[in-house]
């Protein structure tokens, strides 16, 4: 039981690190007029009110690009767990 919670905590920290490190280059690529900290601090729910309308499409693309990187990192870190899971059943 402990290892289930511990693994989730580790992978949540990895996901946050991947997102915050990839949002900067994505914002520079898709929406250069926006400060990346605005996307990180406000989150996706307040994005429309925090970003000007002319930069919203680029901000959404940057957010999507960063989330794609998070999903890929989570899938790649879970592969050993998926492979080993049948052998841990008692």
pLDDT tens, position by position, 20-70: 999 999 999 999 999 998 888 888 888 888 899 999 999 999 999 999 999
The answer to whether residues 67 and 47 touch, using CB atoms and an 8 Å cutoff, is: no
- Whether residue 31 contacts residue 58, with contact meaning beta carbons closer than 8 Å, is answered with yes
Query: CA 20, CA 42: separation in Å to the nearest integer?
Result: 13
Please report which confidence band the pLDDT of residue 81 belongs to, taking 50, 70 and 90 as the band edges. Answer: confident
Q: Yes or no: say if 22 and 65 are a contact pair by the CB < 8 Å rule.
A: yes
């Amino acid at each position: 039981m402990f290892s289930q919670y511990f693994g989730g905590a580790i992978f949540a920290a990895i996901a946050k690190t991947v997102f915050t490190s990839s949002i900067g280059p994505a914002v520079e690529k898709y929406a250069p007029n926006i400060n990346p900290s605005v996307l990180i601090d406000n989150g996706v729910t307040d994005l429309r009110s925090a970003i000007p309308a002319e930069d919203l499409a680029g901000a959404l693309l940057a957010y999507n690009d960063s989330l794609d990187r998070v999903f890929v990192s989570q899938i790649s870190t879970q592969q050993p767990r998926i492979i080993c899971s049948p052998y841990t059943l008692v």
